[in-house]
Chains A and B, each alone.
Chain A
């Protein structure tokens, strides 16, 4: 390993990277755009009440009280539907799945103590429907209690795991840093390794004193630098645009180093094993895309179905993002150490395989 040659190769590669612009766009600008989009979609989401149609067929003081109690939860925003309308066709024609109907005779039943049902329309697959039905149930209980002349004994006090409440953006920043750690080196190296082979550039380089390990190390250094820049950019956007809570600890650094090491090697391995530039792109996508979506990049893995969660645990990127979440969000360094251990073992294996199968010359 000769430092002068690594530095020379690093210089030529990084200048080319900046000049081509396209790589820099995908590595630095694209993740920031993603953060802005996903941050905007989801960060407002929890405070914005869900819109729900309702039809008050009773129109009494009691039913009006019920409606204002629902509104008072601040979780759903009710939109009245005139009693002349057929409620279900109204929902369908407005592409809405959530609705509440207060039947006529609600007030008299409430006063006389006869059983009466408030109908809640919903889509079992949708999370907003679960919210609507839960909220309605809560208000119904309150009314039942009031009618029986009782008062609540047990209450609920909301409290988050951390002193500040965790928000989606707090998961999004580590997730998208992971996205960048994966995609920038993978796509580039898969492409480079097959293209250089086709264009005989590796042969050309093999005729100089540069060794293939030096070449690979220079790429790894480059993607570590790029990852750190990308991390800083995304953290800035996350903190200043969306008020993300991120602890900047030195613990983050090992993940920003081992991640690029792993994915430069993996990209090299995929590209080197392929016959043509086209087939390497296909194999590269097959390896990259599942990791890109199922490792906790855009959504925490814990929100996924159990079988996908177990699948996520065999994806190397999972350990990068889980580790970053552990150090940046939860401050759980013990768990992060496990993630780092897994990553070190994986990278050592993949780097070794890449050096072994990547050929300067053929026989």
Chain B
């Protein structure tokens, strides 16, 4: 079962140390290290080309690293891949399958390959596919195909799952359905390594996140830890004129920024600062509007660290 109490050290399901992989001159993975604890959902978050798929394929035993070590469930994935594969479940990025089996047949096929007596109907129900269990794979929607991938990854009842961008290209409704399935996996105590370039997805599902860019991990931790470590602190935002900005700069004794049009931002260091700031605004007697405080979101930090706004990254995807 999952250890929610962080004080006890649980065994690592995945341990990666100084992992490197190059394609020709391109250093796709450039010396990354991280560990995934048993029972947690760990997310590799990063833009396209960050090296997430390369990393995950090394961990699945589908690629061989150039340098560094990877241990998955205590084994070397490249050398012991055949044994490891019986214990893990995988959805590759852009999951595709044979055109003509139905989801039910596909699950039965996998059960025969693994030589297990799988609860076919239970698995189909778990991934919310009962209604489409008799439709040929090629005729399923993108979200349903992805659910077939999830169903197949569950046939051998794996303790560890690798989900490579399981919701990329899905509409919001289908994405939420897949999230629901992943939450279910976590409740059952399975370990999940999830890659995504959707920040929201990592925030929604992951216990811990590693932000990856250009083959390196820039930062990692729980979403809250990342925000604390990289946040520029809390701010007070208020709409007002340049005169108000000047007044506050003189009288509020807090760092003030003005965006040149009508947005004034004051950095708050202590809890009490917010009182002083509000008081100064009141004293100025000038027009103001829409007062609020704001904390850096994971997205703000991601943008600052990766150096590109998220929307642009998604547009490229």
Are A209's CB and B86's CB within 8 A? yes
Q: Which residue of B lies closest to A19 (CB)?
A: B100
Known: A203-B92, A209-B85, A209-B86. A16 touches B62 (CB 8 A): no
A204 to B151, CA, bound (A): 13
Q: Would A201 and B97 be within 8 Å (CB), given that A19-B136, A208-B85, A209-B114 are in contact?
A: yes
Number of interface residues of B (CB under 8 A): 32
- Complex CA gap A5/B106 in Å reads 13
CB atoms of B63 and A200 under 8 A apart: no
Cβ-based interface call for A253 (8 A): no
In the assembled complex, B64 has its CB within 8 A of some CB on chain A: yes
B35 to chain A, nearest CB (A): 22
Question: CB-defined interface of A320-363 with B at 8 Å, one 1/0 digit per residue?
Answer: 00000000000000000000000000000000000000000111
Of chain B, the residue at the smallest CB distance from A211 is B82
CA distance A362 to B101 in the complex (A): 27
* A1-44 interface (Cβ within 8 A of B): 4-5, 7-9, 11-13, 15-16, 19-20
**Cβ of A157 under 8 Å from chain B:** no
Given A209-B114, A362-B63, CB of A200 within 8 Å of CB of B100: no
Q: CA A208 – CA B84 in complex, angstroms?
A: 10
Binary contact readout B78-117 vs A (1 if CB under 8 angstroms, 0 otherwise): 0001100110101011111111110001100110111100
Q: Assess whether B112 is in contact with A5, with CB atoms less than 8 Å apart.
A: yes
Q: A5-B113, A12-B109 are in contact. Are A201 and B98 (CB under 8 A)?
A: yes
Q: How far is the CA of A134 from the CA of B61 in the complex (A)?
A: 75
Taking chain A's interface residues, is the majority helix, strand, or loop, or is none over half, making it mixed?
Answer: helix
For B115, list chain A residues within 8 Å (CB).
Answer: 4-5, 209
A362 and B98 in contact, given A4-B115, A8-B109, A12-B105 (Cβ under 8 angstroms): no
Interface residues of A in 206-257 (CB under 8 A from B): 206-210
What chain A residues lie within 8 Å of B112 (beta carbons)? 4-5, 7-8
Q: How large, as a class, is the contact surface on chain A?
A: 20 to 34
Given contacts A200-B94, A362-B63, contact A16 B109 (CB under 8 A): no
Q: Evaluate contact between A361 and B61: CB separation under 8 angstroms.
A: yes
Query: In the complex, what residue of chain B is closest to A7 when comparing beta carbons?
Result: B112
Tell yes or no: B40 within 8 A of A by CB. no
**B264-314: which residues lie under 8 A (CB-CB) from chain A?**
none
Cα distance A228–B81 when bound, in Å?
Answer: 38
Are B101 and A208 interface neighbours, CB within 8 A? no
Q: Say how far A8's CB is from chain B's closest CB, in angstroms.
A: 4
B60 within 8 A of A: yes
**Does B96 contact A207, Cβ atoms closer than 8 Å?**
no
Which residue on B lies nearest to A5, using beta carbons? B113
How many A-B contacts if CB must be within 8 Å?
A: 74
Assess whether B113 is in contact with A209, with CB atoms less than 8 Å apart: yes
Chain B residue contacts of A12, Cβ below 8 A:
98, 101, 105-106, 109
**Residue in contact with B92 in the complex, picked from A15, A200, A210, A362, CB distance below 8 Å:** A200
Q: Residue B62 contacts which of A5, A19, A203 (CB distance < 8 angstroms)?
A: A203
Question: Are the CB atoms of A204 and B92 closer together than 8 Å?
Answer: yes
Complex Cα distance A361/B63, Å? 7
| Residue in A closest to B162 when the chains form the complex, CB atoms | A207
Chain A, residues 157-173, CB within 8 Å of chain B (1/0): the string is 00000000000000000
Residue of B nearest to A18 (CB): B100
Contacting residues, chain A, for B110 (C-beta < 8 A)? 208
Flag if A200 contacts B61 (CB, 8 Å).
Answer: no
Q: Would you list which residues of chain B between 133 and 162 have a CB under 8 Å from chain A? A: 136, 152
A10 to B106, CA, bound (A): 13
Q: Which residue of A lies closest to B153 (CB)?
A: A207
- Contact in complex: A201, B96 (CB < 8 Å): yes
Nearest CB of A to B159, in Å:
15
Q: How far is the CA of A307 from the CA of B105 in the complex (A)?
A: 52
B100 near A362 with CB under 8 A, answer no
Contact with A along B45-67 (1 / 0, CB 8 A): 00000000000010011111000
In the complex, what residues of A have CB within 8 A of residue B93's CB? 200
Inter-chain contacts of A9 with B (CB < 8 A):
109, 113
Q: Decide if B63 touches A207 in the complex (CB within 8 Å).
A: no
Are A16 and B61 within 8 A (Cβ)? no
A11: B residues at CB distance < 8 A: 109
Q: Is the CB of B63 within 8 A of A15?
A: no
Q: What 1/0 flags go to A182-219 for Cβ under 8 Å of B?
A: 00000000000000000111011011111000000000
In this complex, which of A4, A8, A13 has the most chain B Cβ atoms within 10 angstroms of its Cβ?
A8
Given contacts A16-B100, A204-B92, contact A361 B113 (CB under 8 A): no
Q: Give Cα A5 to B105, complex, Å.
A: 14
Known A12-B105, A361-B61, A363-B63; contact A208-B94, beta-carbon cutoff 8 A:
no
Within the complex, the shortest CB–CB distance from B133 to chain A, in Å, comes to 15
Instruction: Kindly report which residue of chain A lies nearest to residue B61, judged by CB atoms.
Output: A361
The interface residues of chain A lying within 8 Å CB-to-CB of B57 are: 203
CA distance A12 to B86 in the complex (A): 21
Contacts of A207 in B (CB 8 A): 60, 62, 85, 88, 90
CB-CB under 8 A from A13, the residues of chain B are: 98
Given A208-B85, A208-B114, A20 and B100 contact (CB-CB distance below 8 Å): yes
With A and B bound together, what is the CA distance between A244 and B22 in angstroms?
63
A7 to B109, CA, bound (A): 10
Q: List, sorted by A's number, 19 A–B pairs whose CB atoms are closer than 8 Å.
A: A7-B112, A9-B109, A12-B109, A13-B98, A20-B100, A200-B93, A200-B94, A201-B96, A201-B98, A203-B62, A204-B92, A206-B85, A207-B60, A208-B110, A208-B114, A209-B82, A210-B113, A361-B61, A361-B63
**Those 9 A-B pairs whose CB atoms lie nearest each other, nearest first:** A8-B112, A16-B100, A199-B96, A363-B64, A19-B100, A208-B113, A361-B62, A12-B109, A207-B85
